[in-house]
Amino acid sequence: MSEQDTLEVRTVEISYFDGTKRTAEIVDREVPYPDGKLIVSRTDPQGIITHANQSFIDMSGYSEEELIGTNHYILRHPDMPAIAFKGLWDTIDQGTKWHGYVKNLRKDGAYYWVKATVIPNIRNGQLVGYTSVRRKPSRSKIEESEALYKTLMAEE
């Protein structure tokens, strides 16, 4: 956990872009990103998870059965501003690679930070889905991102 973690628990209603909502218990506790691992997932063009590797299962706290067939936004932490994800979708919609720092929400309400890269999967000229690979971010990048996202959230 990070030094700033309070372990405070709050109940938050999270609204997704497609109009669905869910109520989640959020715990202010960081789960450190494991050294040397990559979290890998793939989705279809609508963002529905079609593949999750073991690191993804371990870090998200969900089982493989729970992840497959679910929208990737299940990981969205309420501290992440919507505009950050708009940037992601605008970039990959153009067929290009997106990099960013993301605070993810675990099933147990705790969080973990990642450096994420998302690329479109093109087969015979057609978009068939997206691959997302997450790796360990540096503490300084996490701090920069936390400050930036707080500012952006205040503006939303």
* Stretch of 51-59, 68-76, 83-91, 101-109 contacting other proteins, by CB under 8 A: 51-59
Q: Which of 48, 133, 152, 153 binds other proteins (CB under 8 A)?
A: 133
Q: Which of 20, 63, 138, 151 binds other proteins (CB under 8 A)?
A: 138
Residues 72/20, Cβ–Cβ less than 8 Å: no
* 3-state helix/strand/coil string of 67-136: HCCCEHHHHECCCCCHHHHHHHHHHHHCCCCEEEEEEEECCCCCEEEEEEEEEEEEECCEEEEEEEEEEC
Scan residues 83-122 and list those touching other proteins (CB under 8 A): 97, 115, 117-119, 121
Q: Which of 6, 8, 36, 125 binds other proteins (CB under 8 A)?
A: 36
Residues 140/131, Cβ–Cβ less than 8 Å: no
CB 13 → other proteins: shortest distance, Å?
Answer: 33
- Characterize the bridge pairing of strands 111-123 and 21-27: unpaired
Q: 70 or 121, CB closer to other proteins?
A: 121
Four-residue CA torsion sign, 14, 10, 61, 139: positive
With binding defined as CB under 8 A, does residue 10 bind other proteins?
no
Q: 32 or 69, CB closer to other proteins?
A: 32
Residues 31/59, Cβ–Cβ less than 8 Å: yes
Q: Which of 94, 139, 154, 156 binds other proteins (CB under 8 A)?
A: 139
Q: What is the contact surface with other proteins in residues (CB under 8 A)? A: 33, 35-38, 40, 42, 51, 53-55, 97, 115, 117-119, 121, 123, 131-133, 135-141
